[in-house]
A and B are shown apart, each in its own frame.
Chain A
Amino acid sequence: MTPATPLGATGRATLGMLAAVGRVALFAARAVSHILRPPFYPREIALALLNIGWLSLPVVGLTAVFTGAALALQIYSGGARFNAEAVVPQIVAIGMVRELGPVLVGLMIAARVTSSIAAEIATMKVTEQIDALVTLSTNPMKYLVVPRVLAALAVVPALVAVGDVIGIFGGWAVATGSLNFNPAAYLKNTVDFLEPLDVISSLVKGCAFGGIAATMGCYFGMNSGRGAQGVGRATKSSVEAAAILILAANFLLTGAFFSL
């Protein structure tokens, strides 16, 4: 192997990655521009709200309740090392609302919704349904992409709020059930400790993660390769990209909200 080979490969990979980032950014910009221009498809938006929001509630609720419960046990156990067991309500609340609620809901949405959107749109592409839409004078961006992105932007913050509450409830259930916390005092400490910025950051993260999850599903679906392998690759890549972008966006948003 010549010395230039790894350098060239690195350069090509970097250029390829930058080109992919550019394509995704252009796709997202096109989606946003179509959000503001008619025609609108309210039935498609309602279906997307149902699929992304309502049907994700069980997954979000179960994820949050177990995470909140485990978090209470961890904080109690860790806090006991320096006689700080009493901070369980406060740390569960801040942990769930600021970080775990939005991130876990975002990742569950990436797993459940991004994969589903990518597989559905990719299948539509390989079976020529997207071409059929065009020949029927219907813009696929408006009919397929905009409703899903809009629905995710609107409903994932609500899912995050639900996840936050259920996560806190999970911590409360464990703390009052097996760690001898007073139920009323636990709730009072939780409410007193949380600040409006904690909740706002949680909802903003939910909005951003929802947008990322839906956009990645739509992008990889619309740019799928041929056949079953193309659909599989689009689905896998969409979830990988959404998960990584959600974690990266979480870091940036946490920095923006709490590091200043």
Chain B
Amino acid sequence: MISLAGVTKSFGDNHVLQGIDLEIARGSSMVIIGGSGSGKSVLLKCILGLVWPDAGTIMLDGQNVTTQDRDAFLARFGMLFQGGALFDSLPVWQNVAFRLLRGSLKRPAEEARAIALEKLRRVGLMPEVADRFPAELSGGMQKRVGLARAIAAEPEIIFFDEPTTGLDPIMAGVINDLIREIVTEMGATAMTITHDMTSVRAIADNVAMLHAGRIRWTGPVDQLDTSGDPYVTQFITGSPHGPIAAVR
């Protein structure tokens, strides 16, 4: 279980997170929704230790993440970045097998390549893609390679940062289905940040809405439409009228 209590983070006068309390149960898929600039990415980076919170505690299975061994902690995570974040200088299979070619999870190169090819197949990419470089792939293919990299070491927890941004609706649907299938078959805990409501409904078990640096509402995805919270209602209907300022 991932548990956040009173997490705050400011950048100068910009108080991005103002006391986040959130729990994500093991094996569940939590989707964080919220407007642009609401702090969703910062929250995710705080959990991963890419950004240090100013205050509050982040616990993973009852242990404070800031005091854990970093390598052991990160070895439990996989992450799909918004833009893929593939390494330009490496061919696709080495991107996917990056973690398996070095560090504590290192395997022989042939074995790592075989796992990379299997993960590429899992996300619907042909073996011919393996020896191409990221710049030679379309946006949708890069996203799928990023997804293959995120699951290559079979992590217990997977984070997805805006997994469908910049994709056409069909490719977005493919990615949503893949995420749902992978999370279900691996039994992984998933945390996704997005403002794509189609993704929310496809991926989430539970939803939390982040607004003004705080969790505004949280609950099962099937209660999203009946939450009664005016912020959530405005967000999911995409209305310019409501408590969330249209001009920010």
Residues of A in contact with B (beta carbons under 8 Å apart) = 39, 41, 124, 127-129, 131-132, 134-138
Contact = CB atoms under 8 A, between A and B. Distances in A.
A129 B88 CA distance: 9
A135 B71 contact: no
Nearest to B74: A137
Contacts of A131: 45, 50, 81, 85
Enumerate the 6 nearest inter-chain pairs by beta-carbon distance, A residue then B residue, closest first.
A132-B85, A128-B85, A137-B74, A135-B79, A128-B81, A136-B99
A137 B85 contact: no
A39 B85 CA distance: 23
A49 to B, nearest CB: 15
Given A132-B85, A135-B50, A138-B98, 18 more contacts: A39-B102, A127-B83, A128-B81, A128-B82, A128-B85, A129-B87, A131-B45, A131-B50, A132-B79, A134-B48, A135-B74, A135-B79, A137-B70, A137-B71, A137-B99, A137-B104, A138-B102, A138-B103
Interface in B55-108: 70-71, 74-75, 77-79, 81-83, 85-88, 98-99, 102-105
A127 B85 contact: yes
Interface in B105-129: 105
Nearest to B105: A137
A136 B85 CA distance: 12
Interface of B: 45, 48-50, 70-71, 74-75, 77-79, 81-83, 85-88, 98-99, 102-105, 149
Contacts of B74: 134-137
Contact of B102 (A41, A124, A127, A128): A41
Nearest to B87: A129
A209 to B, nearest CB: 25
Given A134-B74, A137-B71, A129 B85 contact: yes
Contacts of A135: 48, 50, 74, 77-79
A31 B164 CA distance: 37
A46 B103 CA distance: 19
A189 B73 CA distance: 65
A210 to B, nearest CB: 21
22 contacts: A41-B102, A127-B83, A128-B83, A128-B85, A129-B86, A131-B45, A131-B50, A131-B85, A132-B79, A132-B85, A132-B87, A134-B49, A134-B74, A135-B48, A135-B50, A135-B74, A135-B79, A137-B74, A137-B103, A137-B105, A138-B98, A138-B102
A51 B88 CA distance: 16
A135 B151 CA distance: 12
Contacts of B71: 137
A136 B70 CA distance: 11
B97 to A, nearest CB: 10
B88 to A, nearest CB: 8
A39 B81 contact: no
Contacts of B48: 134-135
Nearest to A131: B50
A257 to B, nearest CB: 39
A135 B71 CA distance: 9
Contacts of A136: 74, 98-99, 103, 149
